[in-house]
Amino acid sequence: MSRKIFIIAGEKSGDNYGGILCKELKKLRKDIFIFGIGGNEMEKCGVNLIKNFPFGQMGFTGVLKKIFAYLKFLKKVVKKIREEKPDIVIFIDNPGFNLEVAKRLKGKFKTIYYIPPKIWAHNYKRIEILRKYINFVIPIFPFEKEIYKKENIPYRYFGHPFIDLIKDREFKKFNNGKIKIGILPGSRKEEIEYNLPIMKKIVEKLKAKFEFDVLISCSDKNFKKYIEKIFRNFSEFKIIEDLHFLINNSDLILTVSGTVNLEVAYFEKPMIVFYKTSFLNYIFAKLMVKLNMISPVNIIVGEKIIPEYIQFFKIDSVIENAIELVKKGKLYEKEMLCFKKLKEILKEKGVSKNIAKFIIENVERIH
């Protein structure tokens, strides 16, 4: 009997993980039909997508600007699920939207939440929504296991799927002898608009200290135009589509906080992490978020090793850390030890493959 699965992934990272999961599901079942919400990666895997999801809004104000589009799309999604009657609905990250869909489905469909809300960071009361409307949870941080065990919510931990994004391959090198500073400004419009200008100021100040080239990560044509505009008066910069090529060719990475920090850590490249948003979003996040760390690398190892610069900070402090990392000083050594510890914690392989196998084998048992 063929299987019908609905998957909702509303962010770029969710689309990446959704794409790998769909690929693994289709390897296991040729007769599987997957439809839902996602981006290019899920579409490449043959997922039948519901188009025009208002992707990539950053923070409270970003969502508020498109609230009517969200509500309209929400109704469309719930209606589609009710019409298609999938065997299971899989939510990936994106809790603001996904939890609302789950509530409106009213427990009438089997559900899995893969990459559940970060209730340990803020809004712990969402645990009650998970308890009421989600049948099974697949967390990706090792310390989350204790939360779901304590709350008596069915779960299984397979590892963090970021490892599945990394393919074993040789990377060509830029051989002009210069130091390379990589910039990862984010994948959302607001993220890039708030973080890239400050990153540019940092590399401009660093230019007075030593010579280097700048490599900027971007695969979206619209964002490329914005980057070129911001860096139009800056010599020696290249826009690179291949993220892992950029990371491997960089001597230092300036990056926004997020899953990409784990990818940088995997390749053992020194980094400095940034988070900058609108003033209202910052105040809202400060009131809501309970953590004193933002990078998943620091969160997972349980110690603030990677320098983090949030909203208001002195550029001179960033410059000092950047120079120490490039010169491979004490901070560099600390980061390298941190990366080794992280790899030991997140040592599971084939995470997406194992999750896909679990889903296929347990659809009937989940309730």
Token readout for 263 is 């990818």
Domains detected in the chain = 4-159+348-362 (3.40.50.2000), 179-345 (3.40.50.2000)
Q: Residue 54 burial by CB count (10 A; 0-12/13-18/19+): exposed, middle or buried?
A: middle
H helix intervals, 116-165: 126-133, 144-150
Residue 310: beta bridge partners?
Answer: 275
Question: In this predicted structure, what is the pLDDT of residue 258?
Answer: 92
Question: In this predicted structure, what is the pLDDT of residue 1?
Answer: 59
Could you list the beta-strand ranges (E) of the chain.
Answer: 4-9, 33-37, 48-49, 88-92, 111-114, 136-138, 179-184, 212-217, 237-240, 252-256, 271-275, 308-310
Question: In this predicted structure, what is the pLDDT of residue 135?
Answer: 96
Token readout for 49 is 């997508």
pLDDT tens track for 82-133: 999 999 999 999 998 999 999 999 989 999 999 999 999 888 999 999 999 9
Cα torsion 68, 71, 72, 73: sign: positive
Residue 359 zone, left/alpha/beta (φ > 0; ψ -120 to 50; rest) = alpha
pLDDT tens track for 282-330: 787 777 777 789 999 999 999 999 999 998 899 999 999 999 999 999 9
More confident position, 168 or 74: 74
CB 91 within 8 A of CB 101: yes
H helix intervals, 208-292: 221-230, 243-248, 260-266, 279-288
Question: In this predicted structure, what is the pLDDT of residue 2?
Answer: 72
Residue 365's SS3 state is coil
Residue 9: beta bridge partners?
Answer: 92
Residue 55 pLDDT greater than 80, yes or no: no
Torsion angle of the four alpha carbons 199, 204, 205, 211, in this order, in degrees rounded to the nearest 10: 120
Question: In this predicted structure, what is the pLDDT of residue 59?
Answer: 52
